[in-house]
Structure 1
Amino acid sequence: MIMLPAIIRPNKTTALTRAVAAFKAQRRPAHIGLVIDATGSREHSWEQAQTAQLRMFKDLAGLKALQLRLLEFGGGKVTDYGWQGDALKVAKKMAAVRCRQGLTQFIPALEAFEKDKTKADALILIGDAFEECSNAVLMPSWNLRDRGTRVFCFREGDDPVAASVFNTIAETTGGRSIKLGDQLPLADLCSGAALLAAGGEDALKRLPNAKARQLLLPPPKP
């Protein structure tokens, strides 16, 4: 009886996995920062946001070529979890976060990345309000731009001040400012920003969500 060799089917890989895998041969992994608003105004949508954020962390889990740094704020305090190479550990810490009353703390969070010896390739800001001095975002935004850090701002709700400030931060740093919605879920946008930071525009083009992909791609040069 002749034994035929078993057919080995290759494992399917996601676009994010393929894009980030290229960084394994490089000395410096891609560094992505996360700044998450955990103030009281987000409490009504917190469970949904946590589900979306967990999905993003699962996409990144196990990829040693990525370093993540999570900062979240609430109750007038910014909590910095430092750079982590294990996305599941970051997800576990994020899952324990609960919303607390207090003003937003986006500026101190931006300054933390601005002054960090380790440069972030991209920052992802998530929130629904901005309750600080609008002009004070300019200096850290300029400095982040000069470091080559793009900031992607993903906004819940229709707060006009938050929309204006997030637009300014994104335009200054070369990132994007996008309002979340049914066709623009947080997980797709965050994964797209990670793709862009890890593998550039070619990697982002493989993001399944066409609308998110289109909005995250930089506009064509004139």
Structure 2
Amino acid sequence: MTDRFPQNQSGKNSLALFLDAADKLPMRSENSRQTSGRLLFALDATASRQPSWDKACQLQGQMFKATDPLGGLQLQLCYYRGFNEFHITPWLTDSQSLLRIMTAVQCLGGLTQLDRVLAHCTTEHRVKPIQAVVIIADAVEESVDKLCSKAGKLGMLGVPLFMFQEGRDKTARQCFQQMAMLSKGAYATFDEHSANELAELLGAVATFASGGYDALQDLKSTAARQLLQQLKS
């Protein structure tokens, strides 16, 4: 089932870290706004990630700031959960719209659907180019070879994957590292104790999508240096 809008109301919100970091994006002039960067933000919303979503909800009051507009960035959110559920939002530039959508999300048990995420990235990129894809997940339950093949094809199209793994699952780590490398992107890990690091990583990717490699080089954060090192390799 594919749905353009999420359902089921709850207080969960895992986008607060990204929105907090997005206020650091380089602003574009009115003349360049029509060529604003496009970032696809994909989330694993299966049941195993519920505790981290609860943690993000607790941090929201401290970390969230109004970031409207998002400095020339267009963002599309997609997530998978439950039995074959795959949800996609329109392309948005309004942080409040993103927040409303994310607070309607509740994690549900189910298998990973990373293959579906990658297929959607390819489809969207062919409609209009995407500058970067962020995928946040903690597990992989699909063919690693198939995922890596699709990641490599995205790399050939110029769409880097920024794979951010929650936790320490060895199979997921090996798969995500390969997907990042084959797509000419980057990989990083985080856990419930590294909220600030995740916020910096997301802000760095958003800066890359909005302003390109040069804009990322201008950032002085540890996260930016970490991503730059991998993008250069």
Shift in alpha-carbon separation, 1:135–1:44, aligned structure 2, 3 A: same
- CA distance in 1 between counterparts of 2:159 and 2:62 reads 24
1:191 equivalenced with 2:203 (yes/no): yes
RMSD over equivalenced CA pairs, Å: 2.8
In the alignment, which residue of structure 1 is the partner of 2:4?
Answer: none
| TM-score (normalizing by structure 1) | 0.81
In the alignment, which residue of structure 2 is the partner of 1:44?
Answer: 51
In the alignment, which residue of structure 2 is the partner of 1:99?
Answer: 107
1:130 equivalenced with 2:140 (yes/no): yes
1:92 CA drift (Å):
1.4
In the alignment, which residue of structure 1 is the partner of 2:92?
Answer: 84
After superposition, residues 122-161 of structure 1 pair within 5 angstroms as 122-161=132-171
- CA distance in 2 between counterparts of 1:128 and 1:162 reads 7
1:192 CA drift (Å):
0.9
1:23 CA drift (Å):
5.8
| TM-score (normalizing by structure 2) | 0.78
- CA distance in 2 between counterparts of 1:45 and 1:221 reads 31
SS at match of 1:185: helix
1:62 equivalenced with 2:59 (yes/no): no
CA offsets 1:47-78 (integer angstroms, 9 cap, x no match): 22356789888575313621111001110311
- CA distance in 2 between counterparts of 1:174 and 1:52 reads 32
Higher RCO, Cα 8 Å, sep 6+: 2
- CA distance in 1 between counterparts of 2:123 and 2:112 reads 20
Q: Is the 8 A contact 2:46 2:80 kept in 1?
A: yes
Matched AA of 2:210: A
Shift in alpha-carbon separation, 1:31–1:91, aligned structure 2, 3 A: same
1:212 equivalenced with 2:228 (yes/no): no
SS at match of 2:40: strand
Aligned residues: percent identity? 30
Shift in alpha-carbon separation, 1:214–1:72, aligned structure 2, 3 A: same
In the alignment, which residue of structure 1 is the partner of 2:129?
Answer: 119
In the alignment, which residue of structure 2 is the partner of 1:4?
Answer: none
- CA distance in 1 between counterparts of 2:93 and 2:176 reads 28
In our comparison, the structure showing a higher alpha carbon Rg is: 1
Picking from 159, 165, 168, the partner of 2:178 is 168
SS at match of 2:28: helix
Number of residue pairs the alignment of both structures matches: 208
Q: Is the 8 A contact 1:20 1:66 kept in 2?
A: no
